[in-house]
Amino acid sequence: MPVNPADGAVFGALFGSEAMRAIFDERAFFQRMLDVEATLAEVEAELGLIPAFAARAIRAAARVENLDFAALAASTRKVGYPVVGLVHALSAAAETLAPGAGRYTHWGATTQDILDTAQVLQIRDALALIRSDLVATIAAWAHQAEQHRQTVMAGRTHLQHAAPVTFGLKCAVWFTPLLEHVERLDTLRPRLCRVQFGGAAGTLASLGAQGLAVMEALAKALDLAVPPVPWHVARDGLAEAVSFLGLLTGSLGKIATDVILLAQTEIAELAEPYEAGRGGSSTMPQKRNPIASEYILAAMRGVQALVPLMQGAMAQDHERGTGPWQAEPLALPQAFLLSHGALLHTRALAEGLVVDAERMRQNLEITGGLILAEAVMMGLAPHFGREEAHHRVKLACDRALAQRISLAEALAQDAAVQAKLDRQAIAELMDPARYLGSTEAFIDRALAKARSCF
């Protein structure tokens, strides 16, 4: 029975994806280890280090179905790692296929070579999955940005009305960091997707003069990069991967936070995609809770809590860590699972978000024009200077709030203002659609960059 809800049959639907679980599934991990062992045998046979018949038998035997998981668990409890039990089972299976083949398994390797390389193969697949859904999410938000480039709404700072923006610009602000994450992912892969092969203490001494040749051939066969030296105790690549996921989920969390705030009953400018019963309450029939956004934020906090664990695991002792390395499996698969779950929720939001443009316009007007105070100030600045214009508009705002009147009415009480700008000029200054500055240009720039990802 899973202890972590993200791995459960019920809560797992909210916290992750079956595709990512399939990558990091325990049986899949053992198959990856067997793949590495079999590939190692093949390249060593090509180099003349072991007999070709042995490599063929090892490859044929390297199937997870040949493992006795009860025996493997017992061995792991005793040894501390599963590779000894795995190699024993692989050797026995190879021996039944070709007598004498079993003695050539795991030739020149050490436990961490197999574990780390198998993990890198998993991460490579996981990053490809993340990238695919990340690009699709960007495309969906880009479509929203284009569709709503002129949908005017209140821009808010410190949760207060600030100045008009458009929902299209807000979407562009949401997806632009995701574009940066695609770039981060692409630059991360070469540093991370590297073979691990160093032998007992990182010298490959057991392979004599053929050590580097085996390392390079193994990397080529697995389509991995060759590191300058074995990275048994240099864990920056793995730490960077989870740090990247922390950044990614942070950006997704920003989107989720905005959606939650804009979906509040009193604001109601957005709503999550709806289907009967989604976001419902066990006691309040009217509820449509922003459930996807809530789980994005939960996943974000979970991933970001794992970042210090991975970064702390970088301080490894000598040529093999005693503890930090063993902590990594607690963090890395869960970080990928939670991140992909959050990304899928965000993609669903982008593709099905309900936008109430009329409500946005209504909310824009609830302050009686106060949201255009800066526009009026800048209109008066050529006549009074910026500081004096700011002072006069501030007094007008105070009067509007105290008397519960519109900003235009409050400005009409200032004879000096009226002498410079008549009611028509003030009305034009207080048209939200006229005070959007470079909004369309910013959207165009964001969309142009997004197109490079598609």
Active site residues per annotation: 281, 320
Q: Which two tokens stand for residue 227?
A: 């590191």
Cα 169 to Cα 446: distance, rounded to the nearest angstrom: 9
DSSP 218-251: HHHHHT-BPPSS--TT--HHHHHHHHHHHHHHHH
Q: Cα 65 to chain center, whole Å?
A: 33
Contact 70, 256 (CB under 8 A): no
The closest of 411, 389, 386 to 398, measured between CA atoms, is: 411
374 token code pair: 């800066």
HEC string for 112-175: HHHHHHHHHHHHHHHHHHHHHHHHHHHHHHHHHHHHCCCCEEEEEECCEEEEEEEHHHHHHHHH
- Give CA 44 to chain center in angstroms: 38
> By C-alpha distance, which of 137, 141, 237 is closest to 187?
237
Rg value, the chain, Cα: 30
Q: Any long-range contacts for 49-55 (C-beta under 8 Å, 24+ apart)?
A: 49/107, 49/108, 49/207, 49/210, 49/214, 50/104, 50/107, 51/100, 51/101, 51/104, 53/98, 53/100, 53/101, 54/94, 54/98, 54/100, 54/101, 54/103, 54/104, 55/104
Angle between helices 324-352 and 111-147 (to 10 degrees): 20
The span from the CA of 146 to the CA of 215, in Å, is: 50
